[in-house]
């Protein structure tokens, strides 16, 4: 089976090269379609409309920024290609004079006060001359696929701030509480002149590695009164945190907030650090009384300075870029696998075999993969 799959993979790669060089001569409808997508993207990058959109976006045009993010989030192939063309052109022109930007990921359990904190923190930053972009990812329904996208209503002050941009997006089942296009959205916001990017994620879980792989600093938020000391969170999430913020530290919750802070400080001493240069800090915040916001920002700036002086800041971004390249490759391959006509025709049958105990899940997967590889020249 291995030799057969290896031969299939070799033929598939040769077909990819042929498709890219002469896409009109190929009738392939499987993985080689990626080559036609890449070719079309390269050609559309020279489109005057793309150039015009990019120039307006680089000038800070909010409408063009929203349009570009909508295109990269689209699942429609032609719109997706156009969005990738804009991103590629932005990447070329933006990095000629790359300004200093800071990407901060914010996660926490429901009710932790993430949106409330982001509004207070965002207005604090814009009052000091910063331009803030908030990429808020809302959970999607597992049945309908819909999302409420209500982050703008939860941040009324920040949504009317001229130096802030809020973009809610549906998670659409993506792992890590981020969409597959969040990385491109970050780049587009930076190109439009936003120097601070806040990525608010769906919640807490082991897949939060996906969030940490796209930001410079990963912040975990927790309420002061939510049960046991670590709020039932997975150890892996706490290990990822560069900072822990205990929210709602006001009124009758001050004592509990200090107790939770002490518990986290104790736990962080025994967990593996993300960097040997910086020890994660725990901060208390009250958005109602507007306390602790300045201390949080000062500590974030301290973290940023340490990472930049050591060279770790840029090296981390380089590693993240490679990680997201493979993330997109996995997503594209899985998408094309699911859309393949033979797979669509046979997968229900093999699901039945698995449910009835005729085949193991692994054996059924191998069979479908062989159908996919052996029938890659089938038409849709």
**pLDDT per residue as tens digits for the range 268-319:** 887 777 778 888 999 999 999 999 999 999 999 999 999 999 988 888 888 8
pLDDT one-digit tens code per residue, 24-69: 445 454 445 554 555 555 554 467 888 899 999 999 999 999 999 9
Which residues, at least 6 apart from 77, have a Cβ–Cβ distance to it below 8 Å?
37
E strands in the chain: 102-107, 132-138, 164-170, 196-200, 217-222, 243-246, 281-284
Kindly tell me if the per-residue pLDDT of 2 is higher than 90. no
Give the whole-angstrom CA distance, residue 249 versus residue 289.
Answer: 9
Strand partners, 170: 138
Q: If you average pLDDT over residues 66-85, what whole number do you get?
A: 88
Q: How confident is the model at residue 105 (pLDDT cuts 50, 70, 90)?
A: very high
Give the whole-angstrom CA distance, residue 116 versus residue 32.
Answer: 47
Going by C-alpha positions, the residue among 14, 6, 96 that lies closest to residue 377 is 14
Kindly tell me if the per-residue pLDDT of 240 is higher than 80. yes
pLDDT over 90 percentage in the chain: 36
Secondary structure class of 286 (helix, strand, coil)? strand
- According to the model, what pLDDT value does residue 177 have? 44
> To which H or E segment does residue 273 belong?
none
Q: What is the DSSP string of 63-120?
A: HHHHHHHHHHH--SHHHHHHHHHHHHHHHHHHGGG----EEEEEE--TTS-HHHHHHH
**Residue given tokens 């300004």 in the structure block:** 99
Enter the tokens of residue 188.
Answer: 């587009």
- According to the model, what pLDDT value does residue 237 have? 78
Give the whole-angstrom CA distance, residue 65 versus residue 88.
Answer: 14
Q: Give the mean pLDDT of the chain.
A: 78
- According to the model, what pLDDT value does residue 17 have? 43
Asked if 182 and 197 count as a contact pair (C-beta separation under 8 A), the reply is no
Q: If you average pLDDT over residues 210-219, what whole number do you get?
A: 86
* Range of lowest pLDDT (244-253, 261-270, 292-301, 349-358): 261-270
Sheet with 132-138, strands from edge to edge, namely 164-170, 132-138, 196-200, 102-107, 217-222, 243-246, 281-284
Kindly tell me if the per-residue pLDDT of 201 is higher than 60. yes
Q: How confident is the model at residue 7 (pLDDT cuts 50, 70, 90)?
A: very low
Asked if 128 and 164 count as a contact pair (C-beta separation under 8 A), the reply is no
Kindly tell me if the per-residue pLDDT of 202 is higher than 60. yes
Helix axes of 312-339 and 361-374: crossing angle, nearest 10 degrees: 80
pLDDT one-digit tens code per residue, 307-352: 999 988 888 888 888 887 887 788 788 888 888 888 888 889 999 9
């Amino acid at each position: 089976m291995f030799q057969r799959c290896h031969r299939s993979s070799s033929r598939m790669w040769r077909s990819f090269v042929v498709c890219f060089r002469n896409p009109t001569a190929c009738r392939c409808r499987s993985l080689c379609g990626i080559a036609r997508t890449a070719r079309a993207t390269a050609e559309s990058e020279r489109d005057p409309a793309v150039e015009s959109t990019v120039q307006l976006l680089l000038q800070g045009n909010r409408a063009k920024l929203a349009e570009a993010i909508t295109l990269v989030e689209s699942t429609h192939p032609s719109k997706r290609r156009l969005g990738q063309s804009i991103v590629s052109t932005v990447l070329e022109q933006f990095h000629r004079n790359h300004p200093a930007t800071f990407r901060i990921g914010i996660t926490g359990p429901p009710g932790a006060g993430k949106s409330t904190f982001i509004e207070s923190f965002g207005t604090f930053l814009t009052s000091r001359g910063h331009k803030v972009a908030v990429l808020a990812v809302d959970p999607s329904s597992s049945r309908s696929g819909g999302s409420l996208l209500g982050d703008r209503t939860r941040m009324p002050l920040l949504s009317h701030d001229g130096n802030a941009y809020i973009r809610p997006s549906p998670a659409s089942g993506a792992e890590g509480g981020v969409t597959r296009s969040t990385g491109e959205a970050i780049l587009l916001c930076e190109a439009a002149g936003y120097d601070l990017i806040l990525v608010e994620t769906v919640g807490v879980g082991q897949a939060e590695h996906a969030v940490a792989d796209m930001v410079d600093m990963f912040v975990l938020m927790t309420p002061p009164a939510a049960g046991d000391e670590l709020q039932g969170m997975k150890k892996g999430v706490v290990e990822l945190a560069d900072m822990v913020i205990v929210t709602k530290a006001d009124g009758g919750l001050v004592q509990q907030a200090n107790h939770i802070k002490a518990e986290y400080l104790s736990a962080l001493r025994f967990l593996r650090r993300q960097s040997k240069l910086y020890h994660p800090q725990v901060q208390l915040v009250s958005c109602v009384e507007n306390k602790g916001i300045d201390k949080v920002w000062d500590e974030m700036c301290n973290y940023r300075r340490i990472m930049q002086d050591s060279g770790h800041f840029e090296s981390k971004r380089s590693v993240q870029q490679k990680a997201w390249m493979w993330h997109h490759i996995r997503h594209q391959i899985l998408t094309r696998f699911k859309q393949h006509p033979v797979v669509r025709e046979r997968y229900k049958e093999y699901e039945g075999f698995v449910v009835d105990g005729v085949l193991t899940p692994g054996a059924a997967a191998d069979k479908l993969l062989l159908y996919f590889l052996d029938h890659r020249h089938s038409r849709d």
